[in-house]
Structure formats: C-alpha cells, structure tokens
Amino acid sequence: FAMFALNQGEVCTCPSRALVQESIADRFLEMAVERVKKIKTGHPLDTETMIGAQASKQQFDKIIGCIDSGRNEGAQLLTGGDARHDVDGGFYIEPTIFKGNNNMKIFQEEIFGPVLSVTTFKDFDDAMRIANDTVYGLGAGVWSRSAHTSYRAGRAIEAGRVWTNCYHIYPAHAAFGGYKQSGIGRENHK
C-alpha cells in the first residue's frame, strides 16, 4: 500500500489513487494509515530513512499546493499533509493519505509526490467507472481473491500496465506505455 511514496512519489507509475471496496474500507484504511505512519522521512544517507526529499523546490511547491487543494475541497486528511521542516538540506513532505471522491483535484492530477487519495466503490462496475474516470492511464493495480475478477479488471482498466495482487513488479524489457494523456506510445514493444 505504501508504494505511493516510492522514491518520494516521483515515479511515473507510483499510484496516486486507491479505490477500496466499501465493505472493508474502514478496517483497511486503519491498517494502511498505521503502516504509512511508520515510514521514516529523512536524509537519504541515513540507513533508517525510507523516503527522502523531493527533487526540487518547484516540485515541493506543486505537491504542497495539491495537499492544500485536497484540504480546501473537503477531503479527509488521514495522515501526513505537512512539510517536514525539521530535516535539513532538502524539501521534505510527510507521506500523505486523503479520503475523498474522484471529483477532487487530488484524484485527477498526477501529483508526483508522496500523496495518495482514497475513495470507496460499491461493486465491480462502480470500481471500473471510477478507475477510468481520469485523463491519465499509465499504471494500475488490482487486488482480488478472484482470478476472474482480476482478469476482468485488468482488461477493463484503461492503463498501459495493470498489475494483479502486486504493484510495480515487471521485467525491465517488458513493453511500457500509457493510455489517454499518459505517455506517447510504447517503449520496448518489439
């Protein structure tokens, strides 16, 4: 679940939205928030550090702007949401989780920072509607105990790569590209 904070969230396929089935959402989010609170932000040469500084002041400002937008639009801040001024030598942001809805800017923008926006879905069709209600489509992940559901979701989600019961695991030579406004075709496809 903490993949959204991989490399400070500055990876093109880091998840920025999570859709959780409403019947398990409360318990799932409780456990996920506890896990994210254990992520140690700090200097990258400290062996205990799990997340370092953002790449630039410009990127830092963009991420803080998105966090402010989430607050202003009424998203529920579950954890994080602040800059870390107690760490010297960089632009640090706490791993942040919001709960809201897909109409909010934090759900529709590629933030490229340690920010995850969570919403719930009722059933398969609702999940696919929300998943595809974006102008982007580079990567997605599906978790299910049902191979049938996983297969259907992988075919229905408009994304260049859809992982099943894992995230961000693939061979370096695998074809890579996106849908909609993500990417400009395929890399490594031949």
Looking at the DSSP bridge assignments, the partners of residue 139 are: 161
Q: What is the spatial distance between Cα 43 and Cα 92, in angstroms, rounded to a whole number?
A: 9
103 and 145 share a domain? no
87 and 103 share a domain? yes
9 and 50 share a domain? yes
Does the pLDDT at position 171 exceed 90? no
The whole-model pTM stands at 0.90
Q: Which of 81, 80, 55 is nearest to 67 (CA)?
A: 81
Q: What is the spatial distance between Cα 170 and Cα 55, in angstroms, rounded to a whole number?
A: 25
Q: Which two tokens stand for residue 109?
A: 């923008």
Given a contact cutoff of 8 angstroms between Cβ atoms, the answer to whether 104 and 67 are in contact is: no
- Around 56, how many Cα atoms within 13 Å sit in the side-chain half-sphere? 4
pLDDT averaged over every residue in the chain: 92
Does the pLDDT at position 102 exceed 70? yes
80 and 165 share a domain? no
* Burial category of 126 from C-beta neighbours within 10 Å (exposed 0-12, middle 13-18, buried 19 and up): middle
31-47 pLDDT, tens per residue?
999 999 999 999 889 99
What is the domain extent for residue 88?
1-121
Q: Which of 92, 4, 6 is nearest to 43 (CA)?
A: 92
101 and 56 share a domain? yes
Domain boundary (94, 121, 148) is at 121
Does the pLDDT at position 159 exceed 90? yes
75-84 pLDDT, tens per residue?
999 999 999 8
Given a contact cutoff of 8 angstroms between Cβ atoms, the answer to whether 64 and 85 are in contact is: no
The model's confidence at residue 178, banded by pLDDT at 50, 70 and 90, is confident
Domain boundary (99, 121, 143) is at 121
Residue 189 lies in a domain: no
The model's confidence at residue 99, banded by pLDDT at 50, 70 and 90, is very high
